[in-house]
Amino acid sequence: MLLGDERVRIVECCRRMAAAGLTVGTSGNVSERRGELVAVTPTGVDYDRLAPEEVSVVDLVGGSVEGLEPSSELPMHLAVYRATDAAAVVHTHPLHATALSTVADELPGIHYLVMRLGGPVRVAPYARYGSTELAEGSVRALEDRSAVLLRNHGATTYGATLAQAYERAELLEWLCALYHRASQLGTPSILGDAELAEAAAALSDYGQHP
């Protein structure tokens, strides 16, 4: 089985994503790249019964190599791989991130952890799911960021590993939920460029260093 480890990780990630409420039904999709091949969730398969061998494997232009028919959002995944150094992409339909995408042009600096995503997260213009326009708009809004909100649709994150891409998806939803809750209480205080830059510098050296 081609990309066996990647396909197993994708199944595990999909189930984790569903359990966390980041998707509804069979919505959302996940991919991981190795070399010239990409493993990606198949279209319309319930995550509870998805098996690794059913995960699609395609080449970098979308040609089917193995597994079931790939997700309709394959163009967006491939566009992210072409435009960034991503090794994995996670596309979700979480409640707070999707709600924010309908009323704002960006998730502002509500918390210093937004710098884990590269800064305030832009909202890409609406385009039909699975379309080239959506893929192109997503990549433009991802410039210098590792996360994007998709107008009236959902969110996409990427990372150097599938675990990192998923963690960024969870962080993005937490930040959107925080902004929503703060907005209900009053007018949120938003961190300025200098404060965010200072936080980014501190975060770059945060954690254990072997």
DSSP 8-state secondary structure symbol assigned to residue 71: P
* 12 given a catalytic annotation: no
SS3 content of the chain, % helix, strand, coil (to 5): 45, 20, 40
Rounded CA-CA distance 124/129 in Å is: 12
Residues 6+ apart with CB under 8 A from 133: 127
Instruction: Report the greatest alpha carbon distance in the chain.
Output: 54
* CB hemisphere CA count around 65 (13 angstroms): 16
- Candidates 33, 199, 177, 179; CA nearest to 117 is 199
Question: Is the CB of residue 55 less than 8 Å from the CB of residue 125?
Answer: no
Catalytic residue from among 6, 32, 73, 173 = 73
Q: Is 181 left (phi over 0), alpha (psi -120 to 50) or beta?
A: alpha
Q: Hey, which residues are catalytic here?
A: 73
